[in-house]
Amino acid sequence: MARHGENIRKRKDGRWEGRFAVYSTERKRTVYQSVYGHSYSEVRARLSAQKSLSQEGTAAEKQLGAAKIMFGEVAQKWLESVKEQRKFSTYIKYNTVYHTHIQPLFQETVLSELTYACVSGRIPNTLSESMQMSIYSILNRILKFASAQYAITVTPLKKPALGSVKKTVAVLARSEQQKLASVLYQEMDRFKFAVLLSLLTGLRLGELCALKWSDIDFENGIMSVVRTVQRLPVEGQRTRTALVVSVPKSACSRREIPLSNSVIALLKQFQDGKEYIFGGDKPLEPRTLQYRYKKLLREAGVENKNFHILRHTFATNCVEGGMDVKSLSEILGHADVQMTLRRYVHPSMETKRQGMARLHERIWGQVHGQAG
Q: What is the predicted pLDDT for the residue at 28?
A: 56
Q: Provide block-wise average pLDDT over 10 residues at a time, the chain (372 residues).
A: 66 85 62 83 82 55 60 90 84 88 89 85 84 90 85 80 59 94 95 97 96 97 94 74 83 91 95 94 95 97 95 90 89 86 70 82 72 45
pLDDT at 276: 96
Tell me what pLDDT residue 357 has.
85
Q: Which fold has domain 176-306?
A: hpI Integrase; Chain A (1.10.443)
Model pTM? 0.65
Q: Long-range pairs for 151-154 at CB < 8 Å and ≥24 separation?
A: 151/23, 151/54, 151/55, 151/57, 151/62, 152/23, 152/62, 152/63, 152/65, 152/66, 152/69, 152/111, 153/59, 153/62, 153/63, 153/66, 154/66, 154/111
146 close to 112: Cβ distance less than 8 angstroms: no
Q: Where are the domains of the chain?
A: 8-56, 71-150, 176-306
- The predicted structure's pLDDT at residue 371: 47
Check residue 163 and give its pLDDT: 55
At 194 the pLDDT is 97
Q: Write phi, then psi, for 24 (nearest 5 degrees).
A: -95, 110
- pLDDT for 55: 57
What pLDDT does 165 receive?
A: 44
Q: Are 344 and 332 in contact (CB under 8 A)?
A: yes
Query: pLDDT at position 53, please?
Result: 61
